[in-house]
């Protein structure tokens, strides 16, 4: 396959910044002669692949570069990026039956832009270590077998466990990277066929707190706004999100707004001075896990400054502490503990910064919040989500262009594929809950199964599932399109649990840290080797076409699930046996809910870059903003400002919260705090990106250490350093930087060789059951 080399043609433009000396040192890539770091050049090259440049992107280059085709392409096809939840529209170039080029779709929300990972979609099908045929562990070694032998063994072991130990002895662990048709089918098989709610997946690790936040506040999951809101906001409140590295195309749209309207104000809340924070007008570099104190203090300021929207309070909101209804006076009384001075001492920032943030947010014509893992992956992740939503509701910064709380997703289909389909241990499709008898009966009727088929008990969530495997309560587990033996926190005991469980892994790659522990591995088709629907952060469903045949003997995860259903005796559950027919089944089921997207057909998706739900019929254009009469087709109340139809009384809930102490405070033995995250060029556990040769030189083995801490531990740049917690240890290379707070260290979770999840804690948020990857007590030592 082709390399990442991009042919760039210079356009006429004054050269103000070009260095006079064009030579580079032997250890520098040639792009540094333009005054750019390697990462900056890669970012620019990826964005230029769409022929798109803006003023900030040209800084330091001195010339405008235009993309030139260098690979002959026979045909172009509309598609969607395989990576993050931004869901960028792409055009896929084909030649000789292979993907040979990818470029951004100018008709899509990303305006033709792609990041470096987006461009490298063209490489991922053809990298080394693709799993090409089924394998079974025999005498401790993986051996190639036929599909029939593999599936017979899987069905035999699952049936045996169900017969001897009941349906809750088996489980499914899925992914926000499967197509919606695949996650929907897995959920249906296990809950309506086998009869267990042991259905969960990696979205529990990244999005659960946001989902619970939206559901508990508004009664329905998923953001109410859309990417278009970015074009109207006057203030951006970006908290727990390094958008510049993790959602770079959405970040570029934020910068578009800043360029078009320079007095647009950007606030970033992050313990690190990230690439996002460096562009902020105000950076609140708080201590990890102190978000509740910060948001309480900002709300305190809203009341003090008189920026509370009294109409919202009187006509649209109610207040709760836990499950107890409280008055607004009780809510305000709690805020007296969070004056800016009090909160500043908790958060480690100044009181003036808090006041400034509150003023900018509350006084703006339109404030838009973005957040992701930094907010969600905390033991108070749900509380933090609820309070950000409260900030919008109390100030009326909601339900108009540019004013919305917007949670960014990390995977290409965690929203539509998992949250909307109810493919989690507590959920049923379209916002239903397994513990609600009416919801269970509705789905039993829609799925045409007898009353009482769906279990009334919550299944095992992600962490609980692997703990149950360790206890022997779950004997068989099917894992699809994810790598939990690297991505779970406190990984070591869960690897032991895998060794005593019959584990089936369907993946496109082998080896991974998870396939190493499997009893059976099944080769899965990926991306355009199959067809289906993704849904990204703004509720946009979009279609991925099948363009190439799967490698080797690989099959789609959908075909694997249908085969398993047949062998387990649940053929009748799947009268629809193609992805297209399953999609039609699913969209018709959605019509029985407020998530209605019955009008989003394959035909419509194949002819435009996606549609936003609700979209109840085939003539509907899709919905940018929910809960607005006249715009949201589900909002039927007349003569009202908002119709919050997810709540029986039409009133979203403002929750009162206290800042809790760290679940694992630092002490003399473990005096530092560890937080984790990502880099621009790699994604998740590097299962795909580490195998792309153009990205293999991008290091993820570093540990960020503040210079003051480096002095204490006698560390210099490049030293080998070991991170140690009460659970485990991992080795890294020291990166000394003041981009991080003193007393805090940072590592990515990308590298399997330098596995930080041996160190992290598996403490979870009590409501969302999402683990806290952002704060645990550690020590370091020079190796």
Percent of the chain with pLDDT over 90: 91
DSSP 461-504: -HHHHHHHHHHTS--EEEEES--HHHHSSSHHHHHHHHHTSEEE
Residue 111 neighbours by CB under 8 Å, 6+ apart: 50, 52, 104, 253
Among 53-67, 296-310, 459-473, 766-780, which is the least confidently predicted range? 53-67
Query: Could you give the CA distance from residue 8 to residue 222 in angstroms, rounded to a whole number?
Result: 40
Which position has the higher pLDDT, 233 or 69? 233
pLDDT in tens, 17-75: 333 333 333 333 333 323 445 455 445 545 444 444 333 333 333 333 344 556 799 99
CA atoms within 13 A on the CB side of 128: 6
Q: Is 498 a catalytic residue?
A: no
Q: Is 207 a catalytic residue?
A: yes
**Residue 634 tokens, joined:** 């589900």
> Residues in the chain, how many?
783
Kindly tell me the sign of the dihedral angle through the C-alpha atoms of 498, 502, 506, 508: positive
Q: What's the Cα-to-Cα distance from 345 to each of 106, 204, 288, 293, 389, rounded to whole Å?
A: 47, 32, 13, 10, 24
Q: Is 118 a catalytic residue?
A: no
β-pairing, 367-371 vs 476-480, is unpaired
Nearest by Cα to 185 from 676, 589, 500, 464: 589
Q: Decide if 629 contacts 638 (C-beta within 8 A).
A: yes
Query: Could you give the CA distance from residue 718 to residue 403 in angstroms, rounded to a whole number?
Result: 45
Q: Which of 410, 422, 599, 677 is catalytic?
A: 410
Residue 203 neighbours by CB under 8 Å, 6+ apart: 175, 176, 211, 411, 414, 418, 419, 424
**What's the angle, vertex CA 242, arms to CA 241 and CA 244, rounded to 5?**
135
What is the mean predicted confidence (pLDDT) over 402-426? 96
Q: Decide if 740 contacts 705 (C-beta within 8 A).
A: yes
Q: Decide if 57 contacts 44 (C-beta within 8 A).
A: yes
Q: Which of 85, 93, 117, 391 is catalytic?
A: 117
Q: Decide if 244 contacts 272 (C-beta within 8 A).
A: no
Q: Is 373 a catalytic residue?
A: yes
DSSP 122-162: HHHTTSTTB--S-EEEETTEEEE--HHHHHHHHHHHHHHHH
Query: What is the structure's pLDDT at 68?
Result: 52
Query: Could you give the CA distance from residue 318 to residue 98 in angstroms, rounded to a whole number?
Result: 56
Query: Could you give the CA distance from residue 367 to residue 391 in angstroms, rounded to a whole number?
Result: 10
Query: Could you give the CA distance from residue 239 to residue 290 in angstroms, rounded to a whole number?
Result: 12
Task: Name the packing angle between helices 381-395 and 208-218 (round to 10°).
Answer: 40
pLDDT over 70 (residue 84): yes
Q: CA-CA-CA-CA torsion for 261, 368, 241, 491, nearest 10 degrees?
A: -160
Q: Decide if 521 contacts 134 (C-beta within 8 A).
A: yes
Query: Could you give the CA distance from residue 381 to residue 362 in angstroms, rounded to a whole number?
Result: 23
Query: Could you give the CA distance from residue 479 to residue 506 in angstroms, rounded to a whole number?
Result: 6
Q: Is 115 a catalytic residue?
A: no
CA 210 to mean position of chain CA atoms: 10
Residue 20 neighbours by CB under 8 Å, 6+ apart: none
- Phi and psi at residue 107, to the nearest 5°: -85, -10
Q: Decide if 402 contacts 234 (C-beta within 8 A).
A: yes
CA 711 to mean position of chain CA atoms: 36
pLDDT over 60 (residue 507): yes
Query: Could you give the CA distance from residue 598 to residue 98 in angstroms, rounded to a whole number?
Result: 33
Q: CA-CA-CA-CA torsion for 414, 415, 421, 424, nearest 10 degrees?
A: 50
| Long-range Cβ contacts of 92-99 (<8 Å, 24+ apart) | 92/121, 92/122, 92/528, 92/547, 93/122, 94/547, 94/548, 95/71, 97/548, 97/549, 98/1, 98/125, 98/126, 98/548, 99/125, 99/126, 99/528, 99/547, 99/548
Strand locations in 362-516, DSSP E? 367-371, 404-407, 427-428, 432-433, 476-480, 502-507
Percent of the chain with pLDDT over 70: 91
What is the mean predicted confidence (pLDDT) over 474-494? 98
**Residue 88 tokens, joined:** 């960028």
pLDDT in tens, 173-222: 999 999 999 999 999 999 999 999 999 999 999 999 999 999 999 999 99
Q: Which of 81, 84, 206, 224 is catalytic?
A: 206
Q: Which of 342, 377, 386, 411 is catalytic?
A: 411
Work out the burial of residue 124: count CB atoms within 10 Å of its CB; fewer than 13 is exposed, 13-18 middle, 19 or more buried.
Answer: buried
pLDDT in tens, 579-635: 999 999 999 999 999 999 999 999 999 999 999 999 999 999 999 999 999 999 999
Q: Is 84 a catalytic residue?
A: no
In sequence order, which ranges of 574-655 are alpha helices (DSSP H)? Answer: 579-590, 602-605
- Phi and psi at residue 9, to the nearest 5°: -110, 130
Query: What is the structure's pLDDT at 37?
Result: 53
Nearest by Cα to 403 from 641, 627, 230, 221: 230
What is the mean predicted confidence (pLDDT) over 260-289? 98
Query: What is the structure's pLDDT at 350?
Result: 98
Nearest by Cα to 771 from 209, 171, 198, 270: 209
Q: Which of 151, 347, 368, 373 is catalytic?
A: 373
β-pairing, 265-269 vs 235-239, is parallel
pLDDT in tens, 715-730: 999 999 999 999 999 9
Query: What is the structure's pLDDT at 70?
Result: 67
Q: Is the pTM of this model over 0.85?
A: yes
Nearest by Cα to 346 from 270, 283, 294: 294
Q: Which of 42, 207, 615, 634 is catalytic?
A: 207
Work out the burial of residue 316: count CB atoms within 10 Å of its CB; fewer than 13 is exposed, 13-18 middle, 19 or more buried.
Answer: buried
């Amino acid at each position: 396959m082709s390399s990442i080399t991009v042919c760039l043609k210079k356009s006429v433009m004054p050269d103000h910044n070009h260095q006079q000396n064009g030579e580079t040192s032997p250890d520098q890539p040639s792009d540094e002669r333009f005054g750019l770091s390697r990462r900056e050049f890669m970012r620019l090259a990826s964005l230029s692949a769409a022929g798109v440049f803006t003023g900030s992107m040209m800084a330091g280059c001195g010339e405008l570069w235009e993309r030139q085709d260098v690979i002959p392409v026979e045909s172009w096809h509309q598609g969607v990026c395989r990576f993050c939840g931004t869901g960028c529209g792409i055009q896929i170039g084909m030649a000789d039956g292979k993907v040979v080029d990818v470029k951004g779709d100018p008709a899509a929300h990303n305006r033709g832009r792609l990041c470096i990972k987006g461009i490298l979609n063209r490489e991922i099908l053809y990298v080394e270590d693709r799993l090409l045929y089924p394998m079974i562990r025999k005498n401790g070694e993986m051996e190639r077998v036929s599909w029939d032998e593999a599936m017979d063994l899987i069905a035999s072991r699952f049936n045996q466990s169900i017969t001897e130990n009941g349906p809750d002895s088996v489980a499914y662990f899925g992914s926000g990277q499967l197509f919606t048709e695949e996650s929907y089918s897995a959920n249906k098989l296990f809950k309506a066929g086998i009869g267990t709610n042991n259905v969960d997946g990696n979205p529990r690790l990244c999005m659960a707190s946001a989902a619970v936040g939206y559901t508990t506040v508004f009664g329905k999951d998923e953001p109410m706004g859309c990417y278009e809101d970015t074009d109207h906001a006057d203030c951006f409140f970006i908290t727990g999100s390094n958008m510049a590295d993790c959602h770079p195309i959405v970040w570029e749209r934020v910068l578009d707004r800043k360029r078009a309207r320079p007095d647009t104000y950007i606030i970033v809340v992050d313990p690190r001075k990230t690439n996002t924070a460096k562009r902020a007008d105000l950076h609140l570099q708080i201590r990890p896990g102190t978000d509740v104190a910060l948001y309480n203090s900002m709300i305190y300021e809203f009341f003090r400054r008189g920026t509370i929207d009294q109409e919202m309070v009187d006509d649209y909101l109610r207040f709760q502490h836990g499950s107890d209804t409280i008055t607004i006076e009780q809510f305000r009384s709690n805020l007296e503990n969070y004056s800016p001075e009090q909160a500043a001492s908790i958060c480690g920032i100044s009181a003036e910064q808090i006041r400034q943030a509150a003023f900018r947010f509350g006084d703006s014509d339109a404030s838009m919040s973005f957040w992701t893992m930094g907010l969600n992956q905390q033991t108070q992740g749900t509380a933090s989500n609820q309070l950000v939503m409260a900030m919008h509701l109390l100030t009326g910064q909601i339900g108009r262009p540019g004013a919305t709380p917007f949670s960014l997703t990390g995977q290409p289909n965690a929203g539509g594929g998992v949250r909307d389909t109810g493919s989690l241990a507590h959920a049923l499709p379209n916002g239903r809950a397994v513990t609600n008898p009416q919801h269970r009966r509705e789905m039993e009727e829609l799925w045409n199964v007898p009353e009482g088929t769906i279990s009334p008990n919550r299944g095992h969530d992600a962490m609980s599932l692997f703990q149950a495997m360790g206890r022997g309560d779950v004997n068989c587990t099917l894992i699809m399109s994810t790598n939990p033996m690297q991505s779970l926190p406190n990984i070591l005991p869960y690897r032991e649990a895998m060794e005593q469980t019959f584990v089936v892994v369907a993946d496109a790659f082998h080896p991974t840290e998870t396939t190493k522990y499997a009893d059976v591995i099944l080769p899965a088709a990926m991306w355009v080797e199959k067809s289906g629907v993704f849904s990204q952060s703004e509720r946009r469903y979009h279609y991925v076409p099948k363009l190439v045949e799967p490698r080797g003997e690989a099959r789609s995860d959908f075909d694997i699930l249908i085969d398993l259903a047949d062998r387990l005796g649940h053929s009748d559950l799947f009268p629809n046996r193609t992805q297209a027919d399953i999609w039609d089944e699913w969209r018709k089921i959605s019509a029985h809910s407020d998530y209605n997207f019955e009008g989003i057909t394959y035909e419509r998706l194949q002819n435009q870059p996606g549609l936003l739900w609700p979209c109840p019929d085939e003539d509907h254009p899709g919905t940018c903003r929910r809960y607005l009469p006249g715009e949201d087709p589900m909002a039927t109340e007349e003569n009202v400002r908002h119709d919050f139809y997810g709540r029986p009384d039409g009133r979203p809930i403002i929750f009162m919260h206290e800042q809790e102490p760290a679940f694992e405070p630092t002490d003399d033995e473990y005096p530092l705090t560890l937080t984790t995250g990502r880099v621009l060029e790699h994604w998740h556990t590097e299962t795909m990106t580490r195998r792309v040769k153009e990205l293999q030189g991008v290091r993820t083995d570093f540990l960020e250490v503040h210079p003051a801490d480096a002095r204490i531990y006698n560390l210099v740049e490049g030293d080998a350093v070991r991170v140690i917690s009460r659970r485990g240890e991992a080795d890294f290379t020291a990166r000394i930087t003041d981009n991080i707070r003193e007393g805090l260290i940072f590592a990515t979770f990308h590298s399997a060789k330098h596995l930080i999840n041996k160190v992290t804690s598996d403490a979870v948020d009590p409501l969302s059951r999402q683990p806290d990857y952002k704060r645990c007590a550690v020590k370091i030592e020079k190796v």
